[in-house]
Structure 1
Amino acid sequence: MSFLTWIFKGSAPNDKTGTPARQAADIINNNFAYLENRIVDIESPDAVLKRGDIDTSVLNVHVDADAFEWRIAQVEFLDNPVFDAVLVAATDGYYRKDVLLGNNTGGYNIFKGDEDPTSATEPNLFPAGTIKLGVIDVYGAVITGFIPVDVSGKEDKANKNQPNGYAGLDSFGRVYSSQLPSYVDDVLEGYLQSNVFYVESSHTTVIPAEAGKVYVDITVGQKNRQYRYSGSIYIQITNGLIASTDDVAEGAVNKYSTLSLVMSYVLSGLSLATGTPITATDTILSAFGKLQKQISDNVSAIALKQVKDDQIEISTNSNVQNSWHGQTILFTSNCVITVPSSLNAGFGFMFFVMPSVTVTWAITSPHTWLATPVATLGDASYGTTGHLMKRGNTNTIILSV
């Protein structure tokens, strides 16, 4: 629910459907008046300003003059008269809580509560223009006690804007600048030399040293470093302007990423599980892991391929060796060469049978010949060349001469 009245600006410029100017001015004034009253209500709410006590006897109530003080609707009631009243008795054996009220005429009222045979409940709705001062306990035809309202947490108005008191607020609800510490506004610029600030760079006019102020050293090269005065020396509180990392010293824990520091980093957490292509989203650590995996996998694959042509001489009976893969085997004396039961997939080698040397071929299961070979006899003049290979991952051995 809005308590303010709105001004209608019309549907279009100059269409004369909006609120007339004089009527709009009245609306604005009324809105400001409402807001002013609300501010006053906030700054000076209804409150008990002074808590007193009462005298009771049977059902008789007596309040001394000026025993209580209160404020209602921004009006303070400070000089209040004597008050005497006789309460109505509760039903025999019943409890009741009556409320002593101060009113907006500077007088008192008794607000009668509801009776209950076990425990009474304090009323909480009172007539307009009144304020609760305390609760009177009644049992049957006797007053059994009085509890005044608690005002222990309230400040005395005399303490407003006083030392050890509280700061007052302006019409906008803000603390007056006169109540703020001086250093909030006092930032002084000067030239620091030998624990003294000067107005000029020539160090002529001394700036008085005061606690609670901020001093900025504008000496060339000092980067506007800031200081406070301790009472005897100026203590630096900031490093001034930080234009780059050159203005910040390296710490013991947080280090700059220098080349030597980066080169000394240990590759903790390196994983060699993945050899997929490196992408722009990979970290340096993951990229190293992928690269090493790719290299390792390629080394294993290359090991199975013919990448060299060294010579091995065989002069006695022998089994074909996986180490012959990719080599040139020279048979220099008559011998029997046996294909063993196990050879690497894709295995193969070139061979040369020296002149007049005979090589007899044998094979071990599960390997079988593609075509059963005869003994290879080296040509008497030039010798004989050939090739033995295993067909992929099968058990078929191919011998060609």
Structure 2
Amino acid sequence: MHAAGVEEAITRVHREEWARVVAALARRFADLDVAEEAAAEAFAAAAERWPRDGVPPNPGGWITTTATRKAIDRFRRESQRDARHQAALMIQDDTPAEVLGPVEDDRLRLVFTCCHPALSMEARVALTLRLLGGLTVGEIARAFFVQESTMAQRITRAKAKIAAAHIPYRVPSAADLRERVTGVLAVVYLVFNEGYLAGEGDDAVRVDLTDEAIRLGRLLRSLLPDDGEVTGLLALMLLTDARRAARVSRTGELVTLEEQDRSAWDRALVAEGRALVDERLRVVAAGGERPGRYQLLAAVNVVHTDAPSARDTDWSRVVALYDALLRLDPSPVVRLNRAVALAELDGPLVGLAEVDRLGDVLGGYHALHVARADLLRRLGRSAEARTAYDRAIELTGNPAERAHLARRRDQLVSAGPPTGPR
């Protein structure tokens, strides 16, 4: 296999196996640093040996075996290990299922471990994205709207706190599952978002991450079937992922919801997501818990998928759902999404006024400049729209979105008079 093929194979195996390898090592050795470093060393060994020896028939197995040996070698070199680590050298991977407790999937176990209450919410999410999703520090930093150096320090401090507090890698009890579910849902949703619109790299959509997030969402649903937010998040991801095939054009350009070919949507995923939302609506109607953040976002997506075309969207319903979400989560990003919906209901001038109020807090967020550019374009303010498009292009690392924004910007020279509210 030529060098490019080997490099592609290593990249693919990293995406498919990183979380599995780290989680398995963490379970065996009860040390997150050892797990991550041994996995990284195994991939480094693959980068050195596979171009010479060829890609092995079972790449994932090769990585797992190599990483395990790297971890064992590290323990043997270090004489000051406690009995827990020494015992790990003798543990085999045939642990009986009944010992594993309520969470049998190593990767999901790792999520709950990283979401320990002793850590701040930001640290829980960031650490799990790094260890489970294999996201780079830069990708995680963008998800949190912070500098990369800040995120690196946050992850380092989180690991140090786990070590200092002797937080074990263990099977969470039923009570722990419910205590930690909020942080776990945040992790899964950020993994999904990074996959659905990748922050950097050549791939517009990272299917490995979206599929992994949905897989984890299904596992969470099986563990906590009565938790409304678990159901809401799974519904949200399914309804969003249903549009994947229509999201990027054949030329590699992002296709907005308004322009998508709705016949290309995955109707099976739409139906599954819709059924989950309907289930939660019946619970609410029967006097159950009020819908939370993920349930409301899933309901927004139901409105979009119910509409046969963009012009048929019930924007008043979308705005009402965002109003309800604002009462739960009055964050700038929620306000921005509401402003975009309000522009469809009351016109671009009203929406632009709302967007501009967020400039001070979301000035480094590319979606704000995308929204401004579109609204300014619709108002016929082409020079201002061009500046906004340029800023949005500068801030996004996704190639499909850059291509879409560049085309919209370049069309401004031939744009006609403003069309008015729509």
Report the TM-score, using the length of structure 1 for normalisation. Answer: 0.22
Q: Name the structure where strand makes up a greater proportion of residues.
A: 1
Which gives a bigger RCO, structure 1 or 2 (Cα 8 Å, sep 6+)? 2
Larger radius of gyration: 1
